Amino acid sequence: MTRDLVVSTRPAGAALVVSASGEVDILSAPKLSTALSEALATGSEVVVVDLSEVGFFGSAGLSVLVETLAAVTAQQLRVVASPQVQRPIELTGLDAMLDLYGTLPEALADGG
C-alpha cells in the first residue's frame, strides 16, 4: 500500500463505488471528501466507499465519513473497511451508524 491517497470512482451496476488506497490523514482527507460529495451528487441509489486498501485512517477520515453520512438523503451508504479502517470506526462507535462490509463483493451483493 502506498502512503499517498489515490481515489477513483466507477459505476458497478446500480451502485457507484468510490475506492481509496493509501493513507487518509489531515492532508489527504479533503480528496476523499470531494470524491464522496461528487458521488452523492450523481443521485446514485447506492454509494459504496471502498476503503479496503487504506493502510491508515485518522480522525480526519472519520470526520469525512460523518460528514458524508449527514449529506446522505435517500441513498444507501456502504463502507468496505480494512482492519486499519474498521478499528477506529468501532472505537468511536461510528460502526453503529454505518453499514460496514469486509469486501467489496459483499457490499455490492447486499440487496438492502
Q: Are 32 and 5 in contact (CB under 8 A)?
A: yes
State the DSSP H helix or E strand holding residue 76, giving kind and residue range, or none if neither.
Answer: strand 76-81
Q: pLDDT band for 15, please (50, 70, 90 cuts).
A: very high
Q: Are 31 and 1 in contact (CB under 8 A)?
A: no
Q: Is the CATH number of domain 6-109 3.90.1150.10?
A: no
Query: 30-77: per-residue pLDDT in tens?
Result: 999 999 999 999 989 999 999 999 999 999 999 999 999 999 977 899
Map out the domains of the chain as residue ranges. 6-109
- Calculate the alpha carbon distances from 32 to 14, 25, 46, 50, 85 in Å: 21, 10, 17, 11, 14
